[in-house]
Amino acid sequence: MTFSIPSFTDAPGPMRGSTSAGIAERITQSVLAQRLAPGTRLGEQALAGLFGVSRTLVREALTRLAARGIVTVSARRGWFVIEPSRQEASQAFAARRAIELGLLRYAAPVSAAAIDRLQAHVAQEQRALRGDDTALRSYLLGDFHVCLGECVGNVLLADTLRDLTARTTLIAMRYQSSHQANESCAEHVRIVAALARGDTERAIALMDAHLGHVEAGLSAATPEVPPDPLRQALRPLGPRP
């Protein structure tokens, strides 16, 4: 089974006919791709120009993202990508463990089609690791967890995982996670292999260890991460897998 992956080379430009949901999804994808750093300002007027829509529609999109915990607003300063604290980082990883381990433990047996999709996803990760597109690599590594939620048949929790994964991506950017991309990919491969064998308990143990490795790699330092220019950060990513 094959699927399309996001294109991170499309030229920037207005996305005519955008909806508030579409704008929110584009911003979320850019967070997963590590293009939007914690603390990046999201100006309503700038976004309206980039997407070719009204500020009202942009405000609706940002309000959606604020409700999902990805952006925050200040009455005087405007909208910004969140800057998670260490306590929020710990809570986010605890929430991901509860959801992802629970998904694996209580899901029905994973279908052959779902295993094919997961194997295709990790193959895309491996190809991205051999290339130099760090945005694509970051997106795929984060999206694996959303894909897994969809593959075990719980779309509602997959949506929740998308938001939590975006938050932990920002956490990894802010606290400079030392967990290398190739290590994450190798751990994804082992999780999928366990699921393919029908060894749910092994898959749960591997996922628990994987999330622990990522969290343990966080540094206590909070270095400045210069954000990409907004137009560059929000250029089209294409459809999700």
Residue 231 in domain = no
CATH value at residue 68: 1.10.10.10
Residue 2 in domain = no
Q: Are residues 77 and 107 in the same domain?
A: no
Residue bearing the bigger pLDDT, 159 or 15 = 159
Counting residues of the chain whose pLDDT is more than 70, the rounded percentage is 82
Place of tokens 């966080």: 218
Q: Are residues 151 and 41 in the same domain?
A: no
Burial class (CB in 10 A: 0-12, 13-18, 19+), 208: middle
Q: Are residues 38 and 98 in the same domain?
A: no
Among 83, 109, 133, where does a domain finish? 83
Residue 227 in domain = no
Q: Are residues 144 and 69 in the same domain?
A: no
Q: Are residues 66 and 164 in the same domain?
A: no
Residue 237 in domain = no
Q: Are residues 91 and 204 in the same domain?
A: yes
Q: Are residues 58 and 160 in the same domain?
A: no
Output the six-digit token pair for 69: 């915990």
Cα→Cα distances 211→200, 208, 218, Å: 17, 5, 11
Residue 73 in domain = yes
Q: Are residues 113 and 195 in the same domain?
A: yes
Q: Does the pLDDT of residue 236 top 90, yes or no?
A: no
Q: Are residues 140 and 201 in the same domain?
A: yes
Residue bearing the bigger pLDDT, 225 or 219 = 219
Range(s) of the domain holding residue 71: 20-83
pLDDT digits (tens, 9 = 90+) for 205-215: 999 999 999 88
Residue 26 in domain = yes
Residue 224 in domain = no
Least confident range of 16-20, 81-85, 96-100, 226-230 = 226-230
CATH value at residue 152: 1.20.120.530
pLDDT digits (tens, 9 = 90+) for 160-204: 998 898 888 888 877 756 568 889 999 999 999 999 999 999 999
Output the six-digit token pair for 200: 């749910």
Among 48, 64, 83, where does a domain finish? 83
DSSP states of 97-164: HHHHHHHHHHSPPPPHHHHHHHHHHHHHHHHHHHSS-HHHHHHHHHHHHHHHHHHTT-HHHHHHHHHH
Residue 56 in domain = yes
Q: Are residues 115 and 194 in the same domain?
A: yes
Cα→Cα distances 144→84, 122, 123, Å: 22, 8, 11
Q: Are residues 64 and 166 in the same domain?
A: no
Q: Does the pLDDT of residue 14 top 60, yes or no?
A: no
Mean pLDDT of 85-101: 91
Tell me which amino acid residue 152 is: V
Cα→Cα distances 138→36, 98, 104, Å: 12, 23, 23
Q: Are residues 109 and 156 in the same domain?
A: yes
How many structural domains does the chain have?
A: 2
